[in-house]
């Protein structure tokens, strides 16, 4: 049986990056940068005012006070987007707006609130700022040629704003991985259909698809098939031809109707491992097709399925886009944790911050079929094998769910 760490190593060795594509900035949100972005010009590109006020020579107003104001002649008004026409000499100033270029001769901006105000041919200064105050100097934020963004960065609104500020209309990104999902089981029905006998609704189809989208990938196709080898084989063949990564849920164990492992092998998927020493999710398959698609065969139990996706598929999708997965942090157990004697244990739970420390608790429902244990969870808590319950205060690893945040439990 494969260990958890070994499984990660095998998967990492089999992953290949997806191709690079050119995307308009408007649609690049959430994708991973495939090029280094270097500043093509300095930012700011010119000295400019940091606030509304008056551009002055500091030597003129350094002694200004409410009791002894300094009066200056206003040469012009400079607004953002316009160039100064006059040179500021001693005894003069220019009315200036935030972002407007500094006029030649001026070295300081006096904020509007410390003057007699706009509108006249003269202005009284009642308080002097420090020398060179309220001026943004050319290149002080970013000099020309500086590295702005590294390859492998996932683009958020912040990075999109930086790219726009430097005039990038398009950007090279890793294409979103295409993921196909095949769910298997005679008992499965789609939401909206009528349940009858021992049928149940197919939650894996929807939760796994939502996880794929949360990982920055796209859905190449969704298949739901019965426990019929021919139907399963046909669905797998179609799915493998459409994706970079195939996820199956169900039919991967050793039961009479568990055909998945054999059918994947029949389709020339090379098995890298099958069965991992973990709880839940022991019957877990990983392989690679001759065309290059990677295949994750997940258990049918919904909690086991999501555990395997979060622990293995999500890092793989990040690696396909040349992006490191950063979902794991450490926290203290608030209550004891039911570790397993022989297998690596995963349980959904909650993590929260209090008094500068991180705490976590496992869910009360710990069986692999109990999908309601996921509601309200914001992390997946993990622990290596142990012959006893882990006591409160033990530091454990938590895999943050990408759609959740750190809220103290109510």
User: Tell me, what's the pLDDT at 407?
Assistant: 59
User: Tell me, what's the pLDDT at 409?
Assistant: 56
User: Tell me, what's the pLDDT at 7?
Assistant: 98
Is the separation of the CB atoms in 335 and 393 below 8 Å? no
* Segments in the chain below pLDDT 70: 366-369, 405-410
> What is the architecture of the domain spanning 20-43+140-174?
Alpha-Beta Complex (3.90)
Query: What is the domain partition of the chain in residue ranges?
Result: 4-18+176-320, 20-43+140-174, 48-136, 328-400
CA-CA-CA-CA torsion sign (383, 389, 390, 393): positive
User: Tell me, what's the pLDDT at 410?
Assistant: 52
Is the separation of the CB atoms in 34 and 322 below 8 Å? yes
Whole-angstrom distance, CA of residue 225 vs CA of residue 281: 21
User: Tell me, what's the pLDDT at 368?
Assistant: 59
Q: Strand, helix or coil at 183?
A: strand
Whole-angstrom distance, CA of residue 369 vs CA of residue 60: 78
User: Tell me, what's the pLDDT at 375?
Assistant: 79
The pLDDT tens digits for 279-291 are 999 999 999 999 9
CATH fold, domain 4-18+176-320, is: Molybdenum Cofactor Biosythetic Enzyme; Chain A (3.40.980)
Q: Tell me the β-bridge partners of 270.
A: 288
Q: From residue 192, how far is each of 157, 196, 200, 371 by CA, in Å? A: 37, 13, 11, 19
Superfamily of domain 48-136: Molybdopterin biosynthesis moea protein, domain 3. (2.170.190.11)
pTM of the model: 0.85
Helix (H) or strand (E) holding 163: helix 157-165
User: Tell me, what's the pLDDT at 387?
Assistant: 84
User: Tell me, what's the pLDDT at 325?
Assistant: 87
User: Tell me, what's the pLDDT at 327?
Assistant: 81
User: Tell me, what's the pLDDT at 369?
Assistant: 65
Task: Say if residue 234 is exposed, middle or buried (CB neighbours under 10 Å; 0-12, 13-18, 19+).
Answer: middle
SS (HEC) of 339-383: CCCCCEEEEEEEEEEECCEEEEEECCCCCCCCHHHHCCCCEEEEE
CATH fold, domain 328-400, is: Beta-clip (2.40.340)
The pLDDT tens digits for 226-271 are 999 999 999 999 999 999 999 999 999 888 878 999 999 999 999 9
User: Tell me, what's the pLDDT at 406?
Assistant: 65
């Amino acid at each position: 049986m494969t260990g958890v760490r070994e499984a990660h190593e095998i998967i990492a060795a089999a992953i290949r990056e997806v191709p690079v594509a050119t995307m308009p900035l408007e649609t690049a949100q959430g994708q991973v940068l495939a090029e280094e972005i270097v500043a093509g010009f300095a930012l700011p590109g010119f000295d400019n005012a940091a606030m509304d006020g008056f551009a002055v020579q500091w030597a003129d107003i350094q002694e200004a006070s409410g009791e002894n104001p300094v009066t200056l002649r206003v040469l012009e008004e400079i607004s953002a987007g316009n160039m100064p026409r006059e040179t500021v000499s001693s005894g003069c100033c220019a009315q200036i707006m935030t972002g407007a270029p500094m006029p030649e001769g001026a070295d300081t901006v006096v904020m509007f609130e410390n003057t007699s105000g706009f509108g006249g041919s003269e202005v009284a200064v009642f308080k002097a700022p420090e020398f060179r105050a309220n001026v943004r100097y050319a290149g002080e934020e970013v000099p020309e040629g500086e590295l702005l963004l590294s390859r492998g960065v996932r683009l958020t609104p912040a990075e999109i704003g930086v790219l726009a500020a430097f005039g990038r209309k398009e950007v090279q990104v890793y294409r979103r991985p295409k993921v196909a999902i095949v769910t298997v089981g005679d008992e499965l029905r789609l939401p909206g259909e009528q349940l009858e006998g021992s049928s149940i609704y197919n939650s894996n189809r929807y939760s796994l698809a939502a996880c794929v989208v949360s990982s920055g990938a796209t859905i190449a196709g969704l298949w739901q098939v019965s426990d019929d080898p021919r139907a399963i084989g046909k669905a797998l063949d179609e799915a493998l031809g459409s994706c970079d990564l195939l996820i199956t849920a169900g039919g991967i164990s050793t039961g009479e109707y568990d055909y998945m492992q054999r059918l994947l092998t029949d389709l020339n998927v090379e098995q890298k491992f099958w069965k991992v020493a973990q709880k839940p999710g022991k019957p877990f398959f990983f392989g690679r097709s001759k065309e290059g698609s990677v295949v994750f065969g997940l258990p049918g139990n919904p909690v086991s399925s999501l555990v395997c996706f979060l622990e293995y598929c999500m890092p793989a999708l990040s690696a396909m886009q040349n992006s490191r997965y950063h979902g794991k942090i450490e926290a203290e157990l608030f209550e004891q944790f039911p570790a397993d004697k022989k297998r690596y244990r995963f349980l959904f739970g909650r993590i929260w911050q209090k008094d500068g420390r991180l705490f976590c608790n496992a869910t009360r429902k710990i069986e692999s079929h109990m999908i309601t244990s996921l509601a309200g969870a914001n992390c997946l808590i993990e622990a290596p094998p142990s012959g006893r319950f882990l006591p409160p205060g033990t530091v454990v690893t938590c895999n943050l769910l990408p759609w959740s945040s750190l809220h103290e439990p109510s």
